[in-house]
Structure 1
Amino acid sequence: MRSDGPNSVQMGVTANQEVGYLGVFTKADIGLQNGNQSQIFVSIAGHLYSGVATSTSGVLKGGYSGGYILTDDPNFKRDVAKQYEMIVFPETKGTFVVDLKGTYKAMAMGRKCLS
C-alpha cells in the first residue's frame, strides 16, 4: 500500500495467487453513496482497464472512497509495474491521478514473499 497526498494505491494477489488486484482510493468526493457500486476505470500508458468501486458505510477507513480492479491480464500487470502514473475515472465523478512510482520494486518484493 502506498499513499500520495489524498490518493492511495493497494495491490496484491488473491489467496490462490491466480488473480491480481489493484485498489485505488481517494479522499476526494467521487460521489459514492453508502453501499452503492459503480464502475471505475483507470488509464495507464493509454490503456484502459475497469473494475468496481464500492462504498461501505459511506467511506472507508481514513475517509477514503474507491474500489478494486481484479485481473489476470499480463498487460495490466506490466503497465502497473513499468508506468509512473495512473489516471482514475470513477463512473460517478471526480477524476484523479495516482503516482505509481515504486510499484515495480513492490511487485518484485511481493513475488519473493509468495515464493
Structure 2
Amino acid sequence: MSGPDAWDGDLAALLREVDGWAAGLARTLDELARERLEGTDATGAVRARVSGTGRLTGLDIDARGLRDLDHEGVAWAVKEAVAAARSALGDRLTELTGGPVDGATDPLAAHVERVMREG
C-alpha cells in the first residue's frame, strides 16, 4: 500500500473507528455518572457512597462500631471507606469498558502497528 489515496482510505477508516470508540466511551461515562457505588471500612462500621464521577455523596457511621476508636482511628476508618467506594467505581468502569486495554483488545492496535511499520 502506497501513495496518498491508500493513506486517505486508512485515515478515514481510522477516524471512523476513533469516532465510534469515543462515542461509546462517552455513553459509558454517562451511564457510570448516574450510578452510586459503596464501600466500607474493614470493620463495616463506616459506609461511604460515591457518585459515578467519584464525588462523595453519603457517609454512614455506626457509632457503636467505632466507640473504641479515637478521632484518628475514626478518620482512618472514614478514609478507608471512601477509598473502598472509589475502588468500586474503578472496578465498575473496568467492567463497563470490557477490562483493561491491551494489544489483543485494543480496537486501534492494528492501525497503530501499520502506521509504525509503514511510516
State the TM-score, normalizing by the size of structure 1.
Answer: 0.31
> Which of these two proteins has the greater Rg computed from alpha carbons?
2
Give the number of the structure whose residues are more often strand, by fraction: 1
State the TM-score, normalizing by the size of structure 2.
Answer: 0.30
